[in-house]
C-alpha cells in the first residue's frame, strides 16, 4: 500500500457519478491501491437516499420526476438529502487500518480538517458527535461511513450553500403542516458558508485550504492523481446499476420516524382520532423537549386563539406524559377552553403518540 494519498479532484460530474465514483474506488481497492481522497460535485441537482431507506416512504417521487430531479441510492446510511453544485463532496476511500477502528473516533478524525477549514475562514465550527459539524448549534454538514469490499469509506461535504426550500419539498411527508415545519426547522438549525460569511467563498481557495488541513491531520502527502481504467470501468457499471428500479426501489430496513434536522433535532407528526374529531400534531423535538409544535385537524375549539395558546405553552415542555398533560390542563383552565370531545387527556394522547413514534 503506497504511503502517499491520491487526491482525485473531479470538479463537476453527472449526478449519479458523484455517488458511484467512491463506490467504484472502494470496490476496486486492493493491496497496491493508494488511499484516496475524492473531491466532486454534481453538474445538476438531484436527490440521494440512504442505503437502508425505502424510496417511496422518504421521497416525493412524483415531484422529483415532474421537476427532472434524478434520485440515487448510496451504500452509505443516513437520510434523504437534496444535493447540488453548492456542496463539494469530500469522499475518503482508505485501506482498513489507515483510519481509527472505533467509528466515533473515525468520524472525529474525518471531521477535523473540515472543522479547521471552516475556522480558518472565520466560521466557529465544532465537531458534534457522533458525525455532525456544527456552528453555534446549527448543522453545517454531516458525515457517513461504510465498509465496501476491502475499503473503509467516509463521506461528507464542504457546505458552500444549501437550498432549504427544495430540501423540504422533495421529502415525502404526511401533510403540508409537516413540510412547513421541516422548512422552518432547516432554516433555524442548519447553516452554510454563505450564511455565515455573507458571501460565497471561492471554491478553489476553500479546497486548497481544506487539503492543507487534511495533509496536517493525516500526516501524509497528498498527490494529485486520476482514477485508473479499472476504477472508471467499475464506475460506469455502477452508473447502470444505480439507475435501475431494482436498486432504487429495494426495501430498506432502518427507516427512522420523522425527519432528522441534525443530531439533536427531529420533526415528527402523527394523527389521533378523538371523539371530537381528528387531531394532527406536528412536533419539533430538541434535546428531549418540545421545541415547537403545531395543532391542526377537524375539531372545534374556542376561543379561536386557543390552539395557538396551547402550542406556545407546550414549547420547552419535557417529553413526559405528566408534564405535557399538566401544561395543557393549565392553559385549558386559564383561558376557559371549550373543545367538545377533545379533552386534555385526548390532546395528551395525541402529543405522546407523536413522541412515541420518534423513540
Q: What is the Cα gyration radius of the chain?
A: 23
Cα distance between residue 359 and residue 356, in whole Å:
5
Any bridge partners for residue 151, and if so which?
95, 148
Percent of the chain with pLDDT over 90: 63
Q: How high is the pLDDT of residue 254?
A: 45
Judging by beta carbons within 10 Å of its beta carbon (0-12, 13-18, 19+), is residue 122 exposed, middle or buried? exposed
With CA atoms as reference, report the closest residue to 162 among 181, 190, 131. Answer: 190
CATH number for 5-248 (one of 3.30.930.10, 3.40.47.10, 3.30.1550.10, 3.40.1010.10): it is 3.30.930.10
Average pLDDT over residues 290-308: 85
Average pLDDT over residues 207-235: 97
In this prediction, residue 359 has a pLDDT band, given cuts at 50, 70 and 90, of: low
C-alpha cell at 11: 470538479
In this structure, are residues 288 and 319 in contact, taking their beta carbons and an 8 Å threshold?
A: yes
C-alpha cell at 207: 479546497
Helix (H) or strand (E) holding 263: none
Cα distance between residue 147 and residue 11, in whole Å:
25
Taking 80 as the threshold, does the pLDDT of residue 256 lie above it?
no
Cα distance between residue 134 and residue 189, in whole Å:
9
CA 356 to chain centre: 21
Average pLDDT over residues 57-66: 92
Instruction: Write down the domain spans for the chain.
Output: 5-248, 264-357
Measured in degrees and rounded to the nearest 5, phi and psi for residue 87 equal -125, 145
In this predicted model, which residue has the larger pLDDT, 338 or 23?
Answer: 23
Cα distance between residue 249 and residue 256, in whole Å:
17
C-alpha cell at 124: 466557529
Taking 90 as the threshold, does the pLDDT of residue 249 lie above it?
no
Q: Which fold has domain 264-357?
A: Enolase-like; domain 1 (3.30.390)
With CA atoms as reference, report the closest residue to 314 among 272, 348, 359. Answer: 348
Q: How high is the pLDDT of residue 177?
A: 86
Q: How high is the pLDDT of residue 51?
A: 81
Q: How high is the pLDDT of residue 303?
A: 86
Model confidence pLDDT, tens digit, residues 143-170 = 888 888 889 999 999 999 999 999 999 9
Taking 60 as the threshold, does the pLDDT of residue 253 lie above it?
no
Measured in degrees and rounded to the nearest 5, phi and psi for residue 357 equal -70, -20
Average pLDDT over residues 68-75: 93
Domain 5-248 and domain 264-357 have a common topology: no
Model confidence pLDDT, tens digit, residues 87-139 = 999 999 999 999 998 888 999 999 999 999 999 999 999 999 888 999 999 99
Taking 90 as the threshold, does the pLDDT of residue 21 lie above it?
yes
Cα distance between residue 337 and residue 343, in whole Å:
10
Residue pointed to by grid coordinates 427531529: 266
Amino acid at each position: 500500500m503506497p504511503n502517499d494519498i491520491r487526491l482525485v479532484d473531479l470538479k463537476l460530474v453527472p449526478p449519479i457519478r458523484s455517488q458511484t465514483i467512491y463506490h467504484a474506488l472502494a470496490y476496486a481497492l486492493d493491496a497496491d491501491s493508494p488511499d484516496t481522497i475524492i473531491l466532486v460535485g454534481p453538474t445538476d441537482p438531484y436527490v440521494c437516499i440512504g442505503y437502508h431507506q425505502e424510496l417511496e416512504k422518504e421521497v416525493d417521487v412524483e415531484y422529483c420526476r415532474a421537476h427532472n430531479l434524478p434520485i440515487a441510492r448510496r451504500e452509505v446510511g443516513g437520510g434523504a438529502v437534496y444535493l447540488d453544485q453548492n456542496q463539494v463532496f469530500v469522499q475518503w476511500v482508505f485501506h482498513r487500518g489507515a483510519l481509527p477502528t472505533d467509528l466515533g473516533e473515525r468520524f472525529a478524525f474525518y471531521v477535523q480538517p473540515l472543522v479547521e477549514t471552516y475556522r480558518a475562514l472565520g466560521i466557529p465550527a465544532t465537531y458534534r458527535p457522533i458525525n455532525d459539524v456544527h456552528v453555534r448549534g446549527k448543522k453545517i454538514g454531516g458525515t457517513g461511513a461504510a465498509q465496501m469490499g476491502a475499503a473503509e469509506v467516509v463521506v461528507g461535504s464542504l457546505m458552500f450553500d444549501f437550498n432549504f426550500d427544495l430540501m423540504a419539498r422533495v421529502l415525502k411527508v404526511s401533510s403540508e403542516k409537516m413540510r412547513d415545519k421541516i422548512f422552518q426547522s432547516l432554516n433555524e438549525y442548519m447553516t452554510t458558508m454563505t450564511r455565515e460569511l455573507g458571501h460565497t467563498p471561492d471554491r478553489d481557495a476553500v479546497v486548497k485550504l481544506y487539503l492543507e488541513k487534511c495533509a496536517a491531520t493525516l500526516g501524509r502527502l497528498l498527490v494529485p492523481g486520476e482514477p485508473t481504467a479499472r476504477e472508471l470501468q467499475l464506475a460506469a457499471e455502477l452508473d447502470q446499476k444505480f439507475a435501475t428500479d431494482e436498486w432504487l426501489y429495494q426495501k430498506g430496513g432502518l427507516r427512522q420516524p420523522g425527519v432528522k434536522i441534525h443530531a439533536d433535532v427531529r420533526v415528527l407528526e402523527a394523527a389521533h382520532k378523538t371523539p371530537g374529531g381528528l387531531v394532527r400534531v406536528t412536533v419539533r423535538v430538541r434535546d428531549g423537549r418540545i421545541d415547537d409544535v403545531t395543532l391542526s385537524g377537524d375539531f372545534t375549539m374556542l376561543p379561536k386563539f386557543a390552539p395557538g395558546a396551547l402550542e406556545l405553552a407546550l414549547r420547552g415542555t419535557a417529553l413526559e406524559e405528566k408534564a405535557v398533560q399538566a401544561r395543557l390542563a393549565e392553559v385549558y383552565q386559564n383561558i376557559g377552553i371549550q373543545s367538545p370531545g377533545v379533552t386534555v387527556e385526548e390532546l395528551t394522547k395525541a402529543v405522546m403518540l407523536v413522541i412515541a413514534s420518534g423513540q
